[in-house]
């Protein structure tokens, strides 16, 4: 549920990463290949759109761009920036439903002959339908390709299904910054600068609904209690479209 080609940057020489499963409240070490896998999670029950393949194409286009960003490249084509923005949108999209792998939604299908049929939507169906919903934020609707792109050095960054953080100067302002950890030591910042002392790992943990990933020995299980409290409404609900503020 978090792209393997992305989280491999957190793996050690034996391809292992540390993982916190927020939903089950446990931490473990595993291969990055297995870190956030939920079998058949994006298979539809009603629609015919191959969401898994669509995500694979997005990952395939963006992975070389992520590598270039990690390596310090300064120049990117319009197509490369578009591929990265699409990847961030995909990461946001998957993250909104990362704790709903077993989601089932009753539905009524209207057939071509006018008859109706009861059905049940799975997560793959819901995700596909959400892509065209007008109330769902899409980063592609923001002028990110015209904002300043910077890669900052960092130490011990974690990631997770909530790793795309959207920032506002105040809660009533428009989004002015998007941040995303590229590796344990590289942070992508698009837009305005972030404060030097912003606690990124706790913010990523609070915004992650199911998976938190880090290099071996870098994660804090105390994040699970805070995240579960937020998602259960203690201290404020963790809304699907909530964004941290400066």
pLDDT tens figures, 26-39 = 999 999 999 999 99
Say if residue 176 is exposed, middle or buried (CB neighbours under 10 Å; 0-12, 13-18, 19+).
middle
- pLDDT score recorded for residue 197: 84
- Across 55-69, average pLDDT: 97
**C-alpha separations of 182 from 61, 168, 179, 200, 240 in Å:** 16, 21, 10, 13, 22
Domain ranges of the chain: 4-231
Rounded CA-CA distance 160/234 in Å is: 21
Q: Which pair of structure tokens corresponds to residue 114?
A: 């006018």
pLDDT tens figures, 122-174 = 999 999 999 988 889 999 999 999 999 999 999 999 999 999 999 998 888 99
Residue that the structure tokens 């915004």 belong to = 207
Single pTM value for the model: 0.88
Q: Which of 152, 154, 156, 153 is nearest to 215 (CA)?
A: 156
């Amino acid at each position: 549920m978090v792209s393997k080609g992305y989280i491999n940057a957190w793996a050690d020489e034996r391809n292992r990463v540390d993982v916190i499963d927020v939903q089950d409240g446990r931490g473990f070490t595993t291969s990055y290949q297995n870190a956030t896998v939920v079998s058949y999670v994006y298979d539809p029950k009603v629609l015919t759109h191959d969401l898994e393949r669509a995500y694979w194409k997005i990952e395939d286009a963006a992975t070389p761009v992520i590598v270039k960003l990690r390596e310090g490249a300064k120049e990117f084509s319009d197509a490369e920036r578009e591929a990265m923005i699409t990847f961030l949108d995909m990461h946001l999209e998957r993250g909104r439903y990362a704790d709903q792998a077993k989601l089932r939604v009753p539905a009524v299908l209207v057939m071509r002959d006018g008859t109706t049929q009861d059905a049940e939507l799975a997560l793959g169906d819901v995700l596909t339908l959400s892509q065209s919903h007008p109330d769902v934020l899409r980063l592609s609707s923001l002028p990110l390709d015209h904002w300043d792109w910077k890669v900052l050095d960092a130490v011990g960054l974690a990631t997770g299904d909530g790793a795309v953080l959207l920032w506002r100067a105040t809660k009533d302002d428009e989004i002015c910054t998007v941040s995303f950890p590229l590796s344990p030591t590289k942070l992508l910042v698009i837009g305005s600068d972030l404060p030097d002392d912003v606690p990124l790992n706790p913010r990523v943990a609070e915004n992650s609904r199911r998976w938190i990933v880090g290099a071996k020995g870098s994660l804090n299980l105390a994040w699970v209690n805070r995240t579960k409290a937020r998602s259960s409404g203690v201290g404020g609900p963790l809304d699907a479209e909530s964004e941290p503020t400066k």
